[in-house]
Chains A and B, each alone.
Chain A
Amino acid sequence: MSTTTFPSPPSTAPPLPPNGSGAKVAGTRPRPGGHGQSGVWVGIFAITMSFAAFTSALFVRQGSGDWIHVVVPRLLYVNTAVLLLSSITLEMARRAFMNSSALDSGALRNNTLRWLGITLVFGFAFVVGQYMVWRQLAAQGLYLATNSNSSFLYVLTAAHALHVLGGITGLVRLSARLTPRQITLRSSSFANTAIYWHFMGVLWIYLLLVISIRL
């Protein structure tokens, strides 16, 4: 397809600012304000709306009168502790990354990766732990369709676990950007991933409250 393009009017735009000003870690581009931040909060809002929909379905369904209280396995509380710990270790990782007094980028990288690794282990442990909770429920005879409580228990925990897996993907991507050759990770990317991960913990606390009080 051939088109004729016409010259655009002269732009009065100022030139781009020079690179390298205020860079915290070698090789990263300066990002004033961290533009990804709106994105992660918008995403968090959308996920909150989804779980609000699940919660309101739960309240409506509870009105049917066939509500049989479910005794949740204690493992659920252990998993909670694991997830909250992972938030702490992720924050340690983020501080190690932001530690601009680390003159040696190798040390910075090692520290960060160590804490990220621990966080990932806790994250995986949480998801595996949730799976074990489902096995324990099944052993009690509580499956997805057994009664309405068990349905919601499975749906809420599964939906949360899926989102945690997404967070794990984000953490793996962070780790991958901390290669020996060059750190290509922006501090805002780290912060945004961390915000999402902490949200997983906050969301879980909310779900745990709903599960223990309402189910």
Chain B
Amino acid sequence: MRTTTTRIAGAGLAAAAAMALSVGPAFAADAWVSANLKPVAGNGVDGSGTAMVEVTDTTITVTMAANGLLPDNPHAAHIHFGAEARHECPVLSDDKNGDGHLNTTEGGPAYGDIVVSLTKTGDTSPKSGLAIDRFSTAPGGKIAYQRGSIKVSSDVAKAISAGQSVVVIHGVDYNKDGKYSGATKSDLMPSLPTEATDPALCGALRVAPAGGMHTGGGQAADGLKSGGQNEALMLVGAGALLAAAGTGAFAARRARSRA
């Protein structure tokens, strides 16, 4: 991202890569989770994104990419978590005031409170949740975000590692006028229109599937789910029937001939 980083990478790249290969596990994060960011129900955003969070002790590194956001306007972005929350993205039935949109508060039962503010610089605590001047403005509707050394509490680290936290990018444009506007005030900060703080994209940070994949014929052992399994059973059945029919017919002829 920074030129300093790329310069360092220049000569040291091969060595660093070799090191990562040989001693990688020693530096590996304790856990990592990833999310598929999708438009928040009811909020009319035609966007998408992905996010990945690595957890090492109580420090996290966040990588996030998003498209389709209102360009050139600040987009607050957070990791949310609540012990009592559902650990997922809100659905239309969370629309308590029935206006057809979901504001940040209405999403609370789904994703909980802000636990990390994904600012570009400075503080990353919940206190910076609406530090509008330190979030990405999504040039071209796009956010490419990466930040490490973010300190969190051990409870939050645990929740993230367990796949219970949710990434939310805020900032929508209901009236399609290219800016945050409208008569409805933000539920978080009345000096802002609700467009500035309503959730745009959301994704639950989940743990990857465990183990390998059962992508062979051996899948048959798991049950009758696949077409291949049915095919095998039918072959067995056909074989049995053929054999039985053949000799059975002989037995029948023998029986008849004795009558």
Query: Is this pair of chains taken from one and the same complex?
Result: no
